[in-house]
Structure 1
């Protein structure tokens, strides 16, 4: 218990004096608002109100909003939607309206679009993304420049990289000089990924040993010098030709079939002495030259002659006496030979009905008819004219041994009215006939020096001056079936030959001749072919009905071009001109063994008649499409004959008939020439015919 210490009275008084005074202060009563108003504006009340409003908005959104779902391929694609979209499960919750979207994924092309979300229901869409292209990297062993083929077509590559390939299976072929092709089947994934293809290339060459006697000869192939014999060299596989040459010796071309990896030693090549060279000039120029009976051309001429042998040369020219020389040249020797030809004259007596007509020889006025003219022994054009009459025109070759007579019977204009016959018309089966009025002397056959020549192409001098009609196109299946309703030209390896506008094939020569007689009867003309019990036993050359063209007519039609004679249907030079005809091109590779790789005629077998350009006389398909049956019996002449054959119709006897012209099966140099001749009797799938008739 505390004990309070006693304080003196004086000290107590002093303490009281020092204490502050307590004074009253002013008082203002506090105005008190209502509790309800104070609670409404509190921070807590405002937060509660905001939450209630937000909840209300969310509730309204959930009631109005609709789901928008995208099903994507790939299923991991990213989806971007314009505007407010609330992710929900595998979709989005959006208000009704139009939305833009973008869907993307690694390795795929992005896809964008617009969708409309209606208030009626939910919206579901399926979107498939397209894979990005893939790439191919070809890596070769050994490392060499390559060409890359995709499914057979070359594609650009940079150091073996081929970019932007569509996903899927591909056949890749790798090509490189001097290596065998490498082929693999691969699958490109796409997705901008690169497929790496390792290609082990195998050599495409073989070692070839070449020797010659004498040695030291130069060896070349494809224009490139490989070295001198004896020689070991590499040749790329395939059919090769090696040329072996040595001065003063004949060059020898050796065919070599090279197989990759198979080495060969060729037999020793014996090089014979070189030919001699004889330069021949005649006065006048243009003389024909034969060497040991073989025609070699016209002067001036360079002749390569076998050395160490005596050769017999003969020179001849119309209007001049022929001359013979003998020549012997040593190996590599060159010599000039000048020959003067002596002119030869013949007598030609010209008479006319009516008399006193004017005679023109080679276009120059020569005098009145009834005279004898002394002319050089060469071909001359003799024209006899008189006012009011049609001029008489003929060709004659005078002879020094025999006087010739030209009797010109002049026709009046009325008598010449046959010229009013139409230039073309359609026959009863539907084909078009064109009028031909030849007045030509030309050479049938070909020179022995012509590349591709066959032995049956003996040269013949022919005069063709009898007018005739000729079918502008070959007879079609439609036309022939008017004669034989059930005929079929069949097909070849599934390619039809039987369409209406294709040339008729699979018919014999007799079938073609009987069609001509049927057509003559249909058009009210005298039949040409004489028959007994369905067999052809002869023909009537005076009849005006339908027939097959003679060989001379066909040769003139096919080769005549503004006074000259063509070598090929398109002209005189290779390569084949565009749209020249239907031959064995790349389209026919599955049907025939050999084709023209650089030419396209658009058809595997026969083509519709008239599909290509006509020749200068307006006739179609004399080269290509189908070969053609000819009126003439088949024979082979002998030697070069100076006898002029006028309007020949073929020999009297024979077992076969002539076939002229190439067909859709032909691609060789021999068959493509217009001088090419064949023969037969029975049907083939590349032989047809066209019709002709004489004008009487």
Structure 2
């Protein structure tokens, strides 16, 4: 660029200034060459740029893409994948993401699904296509309508063509009337193909020749008439019944076992004359009928009787005279017969205690007791009733030859109830229990003037009305060891107290009470004794289980004798009577310091239970053998009260329990008395127990 030289200019104001002056000049920009721009926008440049971009994108795709491979069965299946998926070897190259796929092959059902391809690695999946079902075309020889069963199940078919059969080994059965079943196992390949099966059918019948005498009889099988004899019929294989019939002749049924393809000729069927038909009625109806001595039923009745014979008929019914009748019927003849039976009567007198009770005969009111009734000689139900009493019922058959008597003893409801209660039974451990029903008032204890009396024998008036069961003997070692297997009653100076049939001893009061509870549970009853922390803490007087006898019960059982109180087990006076019980006798002299040397009971210590006679109530050993634990806690009263105690059971709490009765160790006057009372809690070798049970 050229620069012009500056020419100094002076004016008036700067005339005195000698500095040079620079004058600006015009500027013209240089013009650029446009050839390069045209090259950048040329077609070639665009193609190159596009290739570079595509190459870059391809590089990014190859770096990011993952292979997606499907292992298919069949292996030649077509795989179609949605989106951008480049075929690569056995699979496709795809970017991470979700893809829908469809796999198909000829002869198979297509399968579609969705897979997720992640950037962590390649994705490989196995897909098995299900074969298309096949078809089965069954062609029978001969060509007849058929039924087709596959693996035992019938399938629909149209002219033998069965559609939609799954691929696999199939058992095909072809059924049709009058031919044997055809069965064959085939392999259905599926893939929509049709399998053809040729079924050669074999006849299921045989030719059966049938003849009869006389000829012309009708032949029927299963209700279908095949023709008249003689004839040859085709019968299906199996057990068949051929019926041959002719008017006025008996029909004959012939069982025939038919084998397919095996022809038979049956023996000639001889048709005898038809039976006659006899319709029988009687007045009254319900009479029994025998024909030639053989029972045939009750009227009204229809009888088939062989023709050309004389038949003896007999008619009978309770309360009526029997009648005999004879009859002869021709072949195929039908007749009606009516028989009137004559009633037989007998006299029955019905009385009752108490009198004037109502009498019902066969459910109908007949009158008051004390009458004689004329009744048909058949079984009658007799019921006698009176208000306040349970009904009496019985059955009787009057006799025409003699008069009979029914005596009805009517019981009150209470009497009926007690008749159902057993008077005696065995409990679960084996001992015998006896029913007691006391209803009495008596005095316990003894008079101050009684010789040998102790201060604790205070007299008390007691009312005993509650029924109860009592053990007829004391509990034995055998019975107790069912509760405690290892218990031992021990011995006295070598004399055993432990034999099975000896009374159990060396048990405390609590041991006896817990035995009662155990036995109650064993026999399905409610225990009487309440327990807590391993000890007895009270009792439930409403429970129905086993318990020890109350002192009032024991005193009544031992002492009460027709309104008086017995003093000793054998009576009211000394000396001890022979065989009256087990006390300290001469045999116990080596064990005890004091004995009755003039009395012998044959045992040194305890004796087997029931060794001596029972008292008047059937109870053994209430005196002697062993003393007995009592239910009641030990107390001492203050004297005879004007009021009486009703069924006393004693208090719930206390320190000691009552002991009653003498034992094998006793020989003194005080202990031998039945009013003798003792007390304790711990075991002794001369104390046992018996059990009781309330009943309501």
**TM class by shorter-chain length?**
0.5 to 0.7
Q: Give the unaligned 5+ runs of structure 2.
A: 1-30, 422-427, 429-521, 525-696
Deviations 1:314-341, CA, capped at 9 Å, x for gaps: 1112221110001111111122222111
How has the CA–CA distance of structure 1 residues 420 and 168 changed in structure 2, closer, same or farther, with 3 Å as cutoff? farther
CA distance in 2, matches of 1:155, 1:67: 47
| Aligned match of 1:205 | 205
CA distance in 1, matches of 2:187, 2:41: 74
| Aligned match of 1:60 | 60
Mapping 1:529-678, distance limit 5 Å: none
Deviations 1:404-457, CA, capped at 9 Å, x for gaps: 332322222012226989xxxxxx9xxxxxxxxxxxxxxxxxxxxxxxxxxxxx
CA distance in 1, matches of 2:320, 2:140: 73
Deviations 1:519-543, CA, capped at 9 Å, x for gaps: xxx979xxxxxxxxxxxxxxxxxxx
- SS of equivalent to 2:414: coil
CA distance in 2, matches of 1:222, 1:270: 21
- SS of equivalent to 1:38: helix
384-393 or 285-294, which moves further after superposition? 285-294
| Aligned match of 1:399 | 399
Deviations 1:141-173, CA, capped at 9 Å, x for gaps: 111122222222222222222222222212221
CA distance in 1, matches of 2:203, 2:418: 74
| Aligned match of 2:266 | 266
CA distance in 1, matches of 2:419, 2:407: 22
Matched, 1:376 2:384: no
- SS of equivalent to 1:50: helix
CA distance in 1, matches of 2:131, 2:137: 19
CA distance in 1, matches of 2:113, 2:252: 75
| Aligned match of 2:574 | none
| Aligned match of 2:108 | 108
CA distance in 2, matches of 1:419, 1:233: 77
256-265 or 38-47, which moves further after superposition? 38-47
Runs of 4+ in 1 over 4 A off after TM superposition: 418-421
* Cα shift at 1:116: 1.2
CA distance in 2, matches of 1:279, 1:523: 63
CA distance in 2, matches of 1:285, 1:291: 17
Structure (1 or 2) with the larger CA radius of gyration:
2
Superposition RMSD in Å = 2.2
| Aligned match of 1:416 | 416
CA distance in 1, matches of 2:243, 2:257: 14
How has the CA–CA distance of structure 1 residues 420 and 98 changed in structure 2, closer, same or farther, with 3 Å as cutoff? farther
* Cα shift at 1:396: 1.9
| Aligned match of 2:189 | 189
Matched, 1:46 2:11: no
| Aligned match of 1:177 | 177
| Aligned match of 2:330 | 330
CA distance in 2, matches of 1:419, 1:268: 74
* Cα shift at 1:354: 2.8
CA distance in 2, matches of 1:353, 1:151: 82
Matched, 1:257 2:257: yes
* Cα shift at 1:212: 0.2
How has the CA–CA distance of structure 1 residues 269 and 66 changed in structure 2, closer, same or farther, with 3 Å as cutoff? same
How has the CA–CA distance of structure 1 residues 226 and 116 changed in structure 2, closer, same or farther, with 3 Å as cutoff? same
Mapping 1:418-457, distance limit 5 Å: none
CA distance in 2, matches of 1:285, 1:41: 132
* Cα shift at 1:190: 1.8
- SS of equivalent to 1:56: helix
* Cα shift at 1:193: 2.0
CA distance in 1, matches of 2:322, 2:306: 23
168-177 or 257-266, which moves further after superposition? 168-177
How has the CA–CA distance of structure 1 residues 405 and 137 changed in structure 2, closer, same or farther, with 3 Å as cutoff? farther
How has the CA–CA distance of structure 1 residues 36 and 308 changed in structure 2, closer, same or farther, with 3 Å as cutoff? same
| Aligned match of 1:18 | none
* Cα shift at 1:356: 2.8
Matched, 1:307 2:307: yes
* Cα shift at 1:257: 0.5
| Aligned match of 2:281 | 281
| Aligned match of 2:294 | 294
| Aligned match of 1:153 | 153
CA distance in 2, matches of 1:93, 1:167: 35
| Aligned match of 1:126 | 126
Q: Give the unaligned 5+ runs of structure 1.
A: 1-30, 422-427, 429-521, 525-696
| Aligned match of 1:321 | 321
CA distance in 1, matches of 2:418, 2:315: 44
- SS of equivalent to 2:289: strand
* Cα shift at 1:398: 1.7
Deviations 1:165-189, CA, capped at 9 Å, x for gaps: 2222122211111111111111221
Deviations 1:367-425, CA, capped at 9 Å, x for gaps: 2223221101222211111121110112222222233332322222012226989xxxx
Matched, 1:168 2:205: no
- SS of equivalent to 1:320: coil
* Cα shift at 1:135: 2.4
CA distance in 1, matches of 2:418, 2:170: 70
| Aligned match of 2:81 | 81
CA distance in 2, matches of 1:322, 1:93: 111
- SS of equivalent to 2:281: strand
CA distance in 1, matches of 2:336, 2:157: 60
| Aligned match of 1:70 | 70
- SS of equivalent to 1:44: helix
| Aligned match of 2:232 | 232
* Cα shift at 1:262: 0.4
CA distance in 1, matches of 2:289, 2:128: 82
* Cα shift at 1:62: 1.3
- SS of equivalent to 1:39: helix
Deviations 1:3-30, CA, capped at 9 Å, x for gaps: xxxxxxxxxxxxxxxxxxxxxxxxxxxx
| Aligned match of 1:93 | 93
* Cα shift at 1:228: 0.2
